[in-house]
């Protein structure tokens, strides 16, 4: 009977974890867009896509704070212009740029290895 009323320890949902991740990223960046300094509707952007790199989706190093213009909508936003954004990252966030690139290289290596060893 006692056990029946025990509070269940609930695993935090993925959504909740992503919310926490986003908040931590934005806090680190002073709650402003790292490119233009705007403070309205700041979003945390994943440098490595969640789908391809699920193991890093909650990693602070994998996030950067952007306004909607620089995240999704502008001509020079991260999602519209990967070349501009990666160049910006290389120049202004060298450490994060290198971290992201190293994970991509690692992923590519593993994939190549898989391709070669697959029958």
Using CB under 5 A, list all residues that contact Zn ion: 33, 35-36, 38, 67, 70
C-alpha 47: how far from chain center: 5
**Residue whose CB is less far from Zn ion, 33 or 53:** 33
**Residue whose CB is less far from Zn ion, 32 or 90:** 32
Question: Residue 60 in 3-state DSSP?
Answer: helix
Contact indicator for 55, 96 with CB cutoff of 8 Å: no
**Residue whose CB is less far from Zn ion, 29 or 61:** 29
Question: Residue 49 in 3-state DSSP?
Answer: coil
Least distance CB 34 / Zn ion (angstroms): 8
Contact indicator for 31, 39 with CB cutoff of 8 Å: yes
Length of the chain: 119
Least distance CB 42 / Zn ion (angstroms): 9
Least distance CB 96 / Zn ion (angstroms): 17
Least distance CB 67 / Zn ion (angstroms): 3
**Residue whose CB is less far from Zn ion, 25 or 35:** 35
Residue 97 structure tokens: 């740029």
């Amino acid at each position: 009977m006692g056990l029946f009323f025990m509070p269940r320890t609930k695993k935090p949902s993925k959504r909740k974890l992503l919310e926490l991740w986003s908040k931590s990223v934005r806090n680190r960046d002073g709650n402003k867009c790292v490119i233009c300094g705007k403070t309205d509707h700041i979003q945390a952007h994943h440098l490595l896509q969640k789908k391809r790199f699920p193991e890093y989706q909650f990693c602070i190093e994998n996030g950067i704070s952007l306004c909607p213009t620089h995240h999704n909508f502008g001509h020079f936003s991260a999602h519209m212009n990967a070349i501009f954004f990666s160049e910006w990252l290389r120049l202004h966030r060298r450490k994060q740029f290198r971290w992201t690139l190293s994970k991509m290289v690692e992923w590519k290596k593993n994939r190549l290895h898989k391709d070669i060893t697959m029958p």
